[in-house]
Amino acid sequence: MYRLSWRLGLGFGTLVGLMLLALALASLQIRAMTELTERFATQDMQRLLRVQSLSLTTEGVGNALLHLMNAPRNQRVPVYADVDERNRRIDGIIESLTNNLDELTQVQTLRRLGEARAAYAEAFMATVDEIEGNEPQAALTIYREQVMPALQQVLIESNMLINRERERIEQQMAQAQARFEQLALWVAALSLLAVGLGVALALGTTRSVVSPLKQLKAAAQRIAGGDYQHPVLATGTEEVDQVGQALTVMTGAIAAREHEIERLAFRDPLTDLPNRTFLLQTGTATQWPSSLAYPAQGGGQGNCPQELAGCHCRSLLLFDLARLKTINETLGFATGDTLIKELARRAQAVLQPVDSARIAGLAEFYEGKTLLAHVSGGMFAIVSEVNERAAIECLQHCLADAMVQPAQCSGYSVDLSLAFGLADSSADAVLPVITLLRNAEVALSAAKKATQAFAWYSAAQEAARLSHLGLLSDLRAAVAQSQLQMWLQPKFSLQTGAAVGAEALVRWQHPTHGFVSPAEFVPFAEQTGAITLVTDWMLAQAMQTLQRWQHSHPKLSISVNVSTRDLQDSTFCQRVRERMAHYGIAAQKLRLEIVESGLMQDAHTSIALLHCLRDAGVELSIDDFGTGYSSLAYLQQLPVSELKIDRSFVTDIDSKPGSLQLTRTMIEMGHGMGLMVTAEGIETEAERDTLKGLGCDVMQGYFGSRPLFGDKLQAWLDHIGGAHF
């Protein structure tokens, strides 16, 4: 186990150290070079130049002396000055060199040079004496014998000095060069080492970070896949392992929560039995969540969900606690809950008995896969692989027997009487649990109806159930048993205020459900086709009414709503004609309302039918106009005489400029096509006034009158003479 931060710190620290060392060496080298160059320029070179100038000056002195010997007296003064100057310079150089030279041989050479210079100075003075004494011959002799050799000696010694200086400089240069090369080598080596270390460090760090991170990623993917069993393995890197540990802790928390969620989703909290959701998944799931493992009961018999994975469940036994609703209402829900728990306990005891209580007839259930589930309320289901009816009936008997003893709860002794519905698969096909459950429900309700202890599911029960429960047949019954009513909502002329007719609206008084709104059942009846029954019934009612009104209210018309389904029935027009003939009413008293959207569905047939009706003299209205997508061109083809503007445009029209504008256009358009325009759903005076102002012809709505029936309708009709709103 190591810390990534230590490793990184150590590695990068070493790297930085090496780099600093290389930098220090490089700067040392630069300093040494600078010093050498400086010394070379200020000392060595200066000395060399001085020595060179010594030899040159010495040569010059010789020549000057020669010139002095041959010069007339009056020209000697400047030459003396020149010679003196040169001599001074020589002395100066010798003196400065004396202070500068440190090498023994050079010191010795300089000493000899000094001696030679002294000899020369002596000879020079002697020569000058002879020249001034006008003894040129003697001066020349001294010059040749003393001055020249002395000067020669000075030259020799100064050349030696030069050579030695050159040699020294060359030696120093060579030494410096060697040192530089060595230093450069060190810097290069250190740099190389740093680069190598850097690369190794980068690789090592990458490996030590990337591979543990990869392990972490794999662990996270495992967790995401629902594998909470395997802990996140140690990677050897402390920081990564800390994340791994956090991940392991998180995994534990997720697993616990998931466990709980599964438990809540699949288990009924009251009885702690699998619930309906679980039951429906029986046989389909390949692996049940571990949270559903049952506590071992009765030797871990077949009621364990783990064993139901892939179960070929062939039969289902459904049983329901009778009178639970009454018990809840009279003895309270707590009593009801206690009963349900008691029922669950006794049923479990039948399925998972201690060895001594095992019933021979139930051996198959103990051995095969069997599951007891709480479906809802007092209803339980047992699903199993057993498919012999005798065995299933035996189980039913055993369960019924187990419930014989009344349960004691809240001081009451309550009977646990059960009704059973049994369903099984055919010999050749295993039914899905959902089908078995539905079949068992049908059988259960059949058993309850027949007040039998149990009933097996049969196809006949299904048919009976459908015919009794279906809304379709309910509606048929409603028509047959006069549960329907025709309500009439008056329509008034907006110009005169006089009643012009009424719209017939169906109402259904269901014997058990009470009043059912047409908005609820008309769409459904349209889907199933049962609406034609309603239309026929309403047409008959409307015509009877019109017949009655022939003398009392000859001006009133009745509008009947016609469904899209009716328009697709080619016999519809004929039936209307026959009915009108039957009741002997004037065709123009009958109006048929067709919703705008319905007209668009099968336009060809619809238009032909509308023409047929129009030819018969029936007035046609477009209902809910504005809610569909009819084009003006399309509407022009229709033989309609009324446009009913939908309520949504009329509501608050007085305060909504958008609705006002649209409605004005619709009214103008309707009038342009020669149609009577009716506004639906007028509820206020302001709405009425606005529509009147727009030139709308007829109004219908609560402001004029609500739909009327019975006495109220009669009262309205009685006053129709002065029936102005």
Q: Which residue has the tokens 């800390």?
A: 242
How many CA atoms lie less than 13 Å away from 1 in the CB half-sphere? 7
CB of 616 to ligand C2E, least distance (A): 19
Q: Binder to ligand C2E among 419, 506, 622, 717 (CB under 6 A)?
A: 506
- Calpha distance 257→385 (Å, rounded): 33
Q: Which stretch binds ligand C2E (CB under 6 A): 80-88, 286-294, 652-660, 701-709?
A: 701-709
Q: Binder to ligand C2E among 519, 604, 633, 657 (CB under 6 A)?
A: 519
CB 381 within 8 A of CB 436: no
Q: Binder to ligand C2E among 681, 698, 699, 713 (CB under 6 A)?
A: 681
Tokens (6 digits) for 290: 């571990």
Q: Is 651 in the site for Mg ion (CB under 5 A)?
A: no
Q: Which residue has the tokens 């003895």?
A: 331
| Kind plus residue range of the DSSP H or E element containing 703 | none
Q: How many Å separate Cα 209 from the centre of its chain?
A: 29
**511 Cβ partners below 8 Å, 6+ apart?**
483
Q: Binder to Mg ion among 561, 678, 690, 700 (CB under 5 A)?
A: 561
Q: Is 701 in the site for ligand C2E (CB under 6 A)?
A: yes
Segment 13-72, which members bind ligand C2E (CB under 6 A)? none
How many CB atoms neighbour CB 360 within 10 A? 6
Q: Is 474 in the site for Mg ion (CB under 5 A)?
A: no
Q: Which stretch binds ligand C2E (CB under 6 A): 4-12, 410-418, 662-670, 677-685?
A: 677-685
Q: Binder to ligand C2E among 5, 46, 306, 517 (CB under 6 A)?
A: 517
- Calpha distance 137→114 (Å, rounded): 28
Which CB, 333 or 702, lies closer to ligand C2E? 702
CB 295 within 8 A of CB 270: no
Look up residue 290 and give its DSSP letter.
Answer: G
Q: Is 531 in the site for ligand C2E (CB under 6 A)?
A: yes
**CA distances to 25, 566, 619 from 611, in Å:** 111, 14, 11
The site that binds Mg ion (CB under 5 A) totals a number of residues, namely: 5
Which CB, 208 or 700, lies closer to Mg ion? 700
How many CB atoms neighbour CB 222 within 10 A? 15
Name 619's bridge partners: 591
Segment 586-605, which members bind ligand C2E (CB under 6 A)? 593
Which CB, 315 or 700, lies closer to ligand C2E? 700
Which of the listed partners (ligand C2E, Mg ion, none) does 373 bind, with a CB threshold of 5 to 8 Å by partner kind?
none
Q: Is 561 in the site for ligand C2E (CB under 6 A)?
A: yes
In a 3-state reduction of DSSP, which class is residue 644?
A: strand
Look up residue 493 and give its DSSP letter.
Answer: E
Q: Is 522 in the site for ligand C2E (CB under 6 A)?
A: yes
Q: Binder to Mg ion among 623, 654, 687, 697 (CB under 5 A)?
A: 623
Which of the listed partners (Mg ion, ligand C2E, none) does 248 bind, with a CB threshold of 5 to 8 Å by partner kind?
none
Which CB, 268 or 623, lies closer to ligand C2E? 623
Tokens (6 digits) for 690: 């606005």
Q: Binder to ligand C2E among 497, 518, 628, 695 (CB under 6 A)?
A: 518
Which CB, 83 or 531, lies closer to ligand C2E? 531
Q: Which stretch binds ligand C2E (CB under 6 A): 201-209, 410-418, 598-606, 680-688?
A: 680-688
* Helix, strand, coil tally for the chain in percent (to 5): 65, 15, 25
Q: Which stretch binds ligand C2E (CB under 6 A): 18-26, 137-145, 396-404, 679-687?
A: 679-687
Q: Is 624 in the site for ligand C2E (CB under 6 A)?
A: yes
CB 487 within 8 A of CB 504: yes
In a 3-state reduction of DSSP, which class is residue 540?
A: helix
Look up residue 676 and give its DSSP letter.
Answer: E
Minimal CA–CA distance to 60: which of 162, 154, 164, 165? 154
Segment 216-275, which members bind Mg ion (CB under 5 A)? none
CB of 485 to ligand C2E, least distance (A): 10
Which of the listed partners (Mg ion, ligand C2E, none) does 538 bind, with a CB threshold of 5 to 8 Å by partner kind?
ligand C2E
Reduced 3-state DSSP string for 191-209: HHHHHHHHHHHHHHHHHHH
Q: Is 619 in the site for Mg ion (CB under 5 A)?
A: no
Helices (H), 510-653: 518-528, 531-552, 564-567, 572-583, 596-599, 603-615, 632-636, 647-650
Q: Is 654 in the site for Mg ion (CB under 5 A)?
A: no
Look up residue 508 and give its DSSP letter.
Answer: E
Q: Binder to ligand C2E among 68, 505, 567, 609 (CB under 6 A)?
A: 505
How many CA atoms lie less than 13 Å away from 128 in the CB half-sphere? 17
Which CB, 69 or 580, lies closer to ligand C2E? 580
Q: Which residue has the tokens 């009741």?
A: 583
Q: Binder to ligand C2E among 489, 532, 606, 678 (CB under 6 A)?
A: 489
Q: Is 624 in the site for Mg ion (CB under 5 A)?
A: yes
Q: Which residue has the tokens 């594998």?
A: 227
- Calpha distance 659→446 (Å, rounded): 56
Minimal CA–CA distance to 378: which of 424, 420, 316, 434? 420
Pairing of strands 619-625, 642-645: parallel
The site that binds ligand C2E (CB under 6 A) totals a number of residues, namely: 24
Which of the listed partners (Mg ion, ligand C2E, none) does 385 bind, with a CB threshold of 5 to 8 Å by partner kind?
none
CB of 545 to Mg ion, least distance (A): 16
Which CB, 85 or 683, lies closer to ligand C2E? 683
Tokens (6 digits) for 630: 């009819």
Please, is 127 exposed, middle or buried when counting C-beta atoms within 10 Å of its C-beta (0-12, 13-18, 19+)? buried
Spell out, one character per residue from 577 to 616, where the chain touches Mg ion: x when CB under 5 A holds, - when not.
----------------x-----------------------
Segment 80-119, which members bind ligand C2E (CB under 6 A)? none
Q: Is 633 in the site for ligand C2E (CB under 6 A)?
A: no
**306 Cβ partners below 8 Å, 6+ apart?**
288, 292, 293
CB of 719 to Mg ion, least distance (A): 25
CB of 503 to ligand C2E, least distance (A): 6
Segment 669-698, which members bind Mg ion (CB under 5 A)? 680
Q: For binding to ligand C2E (CB under 6 A), which residues are involved?
A: 489, 505-506, 517-519, 522, 531, 534-535, 538, 561, 563, 593, 623-624, 680-683, 700-702, 707
Q: For binding to Mg ion (CB under 5 A), which residues are involved?
A: 561, 593, 623-624, 680
